[in-house]
Amino acid sequence: MPVLVMKFGGTSVADLDRIANAAAKVKAEVERGYDVIVIVSAMSGKTNELVGWVDQTSKLYDAREYDAVVSSGENITAGLMALRLQEMEVPARSWQGWQVPLKTNDAHSAARIEEIPTDNINQKFGEGMRVAVVAGFQGIGPDGRITTLGRGGSDTTAVAFAAAFGAERCDIYTDVDGVYTTDPRITSKARKLEKIAFEEMLELASLGAKVLQTRSVELAMRYKVRLRVLSSFEESTPESGTLVCDEEEIMESNVVSGVAYSRDEAKMTLVSVADRPGIAAAIFGPLAEAGVNVDMIIQNISEEGRTDMTFSVPVIQVERAKQAMEEAKEAGDINFHHLVADQDVAKISVVGIGMRSHAGVAAKMFNALSAEGVNIKVIATSEIKISVLIDRKYMELAVQALHDAFELEQAS
C-alpha cells in the first residue's frame, strides 16, 4: 500500500479531545487505502515544562540527560495516539525513536539525522499494522543514548520519514490552514496559497514565517518530498491546505508569492574600519565563532583608506555581537572608531520564483515604500528575494503597501 506521513504539532495534540480529533483524521486516511506513519509532537506546553524542570534541577546540565528528559513528552503523545486509534479499531502501534531506530550523530539537543532503516516498521505493516505512531524530535546516537533534534525537530522527523519510506506526501497538521501571502493579522487581504515552491517556502521560513521549520523545508527540497500544510481544526479534503512542492508542479505563479517580515532585527555599524584585504573575514569570523547570525551586509567608503561596515543581526544577539567586536579590537585584529547598534528596525522581504524571469520587482517595491514615506536603511537581494531594513514603527504599513503593490490578494 502507498505510505502517507502525517505530522501533528503540539497544539494539534494539546489534550485528549484534540488527540481524538487527530486520530479521526488518521483513520480517514487509512480508509482511503494508506499505510500511515504519524509523527507527533509533545502536547502543547509540555516541552517547555520539561526544559524548565531540567533548568531548575541543574543549571550546567548533562546534555545526554537533558535529551532523556525533554524527549519524554513525545513518548506520551505517541502512546496516547496509538491507544485512541486502537479504540477506533485501527491497528496502530507507538514507536520511540530508538525502536525504529532513527539514527543520529552525537550532537545532543541538536542532533542531525543520519539514517532511518525501514525494515522494522515495514515488517509490522506487512503483519497487518496500519498506523505507526512515531515520537517526533528524537533519535538514538552512536553511543546508544537518546538524542533530540532541537526545537521544531518533529517537522524534520516527519520529512525524513517521508523521504526514507518514499511516502506519497507528508501532511503537516498545525493551527493554521495553509501558507498565506502574508500574515493575515496584518492585512485582511492575505490569501491562502494553493501551491508554493520549496525555494519560496524556505525563504519565507528563514524570514520568520513560523508555519514550517526551516530545516524541514531544506530536507524536503533535497529529497523532493511533497509537503502539505493544513489545519488540524478543519475538515480535511485532498484539496485542503497549501502544497509545498517542486517548482515544476506550479504551472504559473505570481512574480511575488509572499511578503514576510521580522520585527526582531537590529542594524549594527562598525564606523571607520581600516579598508584592507581580509577585513571582512576579520569582522565576520569572530561573529561566527560567537554564534551571531549575521544576515544583511553592506559596506560604504567613509573616508580614504577607511570604510563603514553595516550588518543586521537578531536583537537578542546584539550584546554578543558587541562583545565579539570589542574583543577582536582589543586583540588588534580589527580597528574601528565606534560601534553603533540600532535596535528599532524591522526586516521586510518580498519572495517569489517569478523574480527570475521578471524585471522591475525592486523598482516596484521601492516605489511602494517611498509612496508611504518609508525610508530604506539597508537592501539585500537574492535570486528570488529582496529584503530591506526599515524603522520598526513602519513595519505593518510596509507589509500592507507591498501586499497591495504586488496585488497578492489575486491568484495568478
The response to whether 148 counts as a known ligand-binding position is no
The answer to whether the annotation marks 47 as part of a ligand binding site is yes
Q: Per the annotation, does 396 bind a ligand?
A: no
Q: Is 118 annotated as a binding residue?
A: no
Please give the model's pTM, rounded to 2 decimal places: 0.84
For residues 411 and 191, the answer to whether their CB atoms sit within 8 Å is yes
Whether 211 has a binding-site annotation, put simply, is yes
26 annotated binding-site participant: no
For residue 327, give the H/E element and its range: helix 318-330
pLDDT in tens, the chain (412 residues): 899 999 999 999 999 999 999 999 999 999 999 999 999 999 999 999 999 999 999 988 999 999 999 999 999 999 999 999 999 999 999 999 999 999 999 999 999 999 999 999 999 999 999 999 999 999 999 999 999 998 789 999 999 999 999 999 999 999 888 999 998 889 999 999 999 999 999 888 877 666 788 889 999 999 999 999 999 988 877 778 999 998 888 876 778 999 999 888 999 999 999 888 888 999 999 999 999 999 899 888 766 778 899 999 999 999 999 999 999 999 888 889 899 999 999 999 999 988 887 888 999 999 999 999 999 999 988 889 999 999 999 999 999 999 999 999 987 6
Residue whose cell numbers read 493579522? 185
Does 263 belong to an annotated binding site?
no
What's the DSSP call for residue 180?
Answer: B
249 annotated to a ligand binding site: no
- CATH architecture of structural domain 259-405: 2-Layer Sandwich (3.30)
User: DSSP string of 353-389?
Assistant: GGGGG-S-HHHHHHHHHHHTTPPP-EEEEETTEEEEE
Q: Where are the domains of the chain?
A: 3-175, 259-405
| 175 known ligand binder | yes
Measured at the CA of 92, the angle between CA 89 and CA 96, to 5 degrees, comes to 155
For residues 283 and 296, give the distance between their C-alpha atoms in angstroms, rounded to a whole number.
Answer: 14
Element (H, E) at 206: helix 198-206
CATH superfamily label, 3-175: Acetylglutamate kinase-like (3.40.1160.10)
Q: Is 9 annotated as a binding residue?
A: yes
66-78 pLDDT, tens digit per residue, is: 999 999 999 999 9
Cell of 278: 581580509
Q: Is 180 exposed, middle or buried (0-12, 13-18, 19+ CB in 10 A)?
A: buried
7 assigned binding-site residue: yes
Q: Is 187 annotated as a binding residue?
A: no
Residue by residue, DSSP assigns 32-97 as TT-EEEEEEPPPTTHHHHHHHHHHHH-TT--HHHHHHHHTHHHHHHHHHHHHHHHHTT--EEEE-G
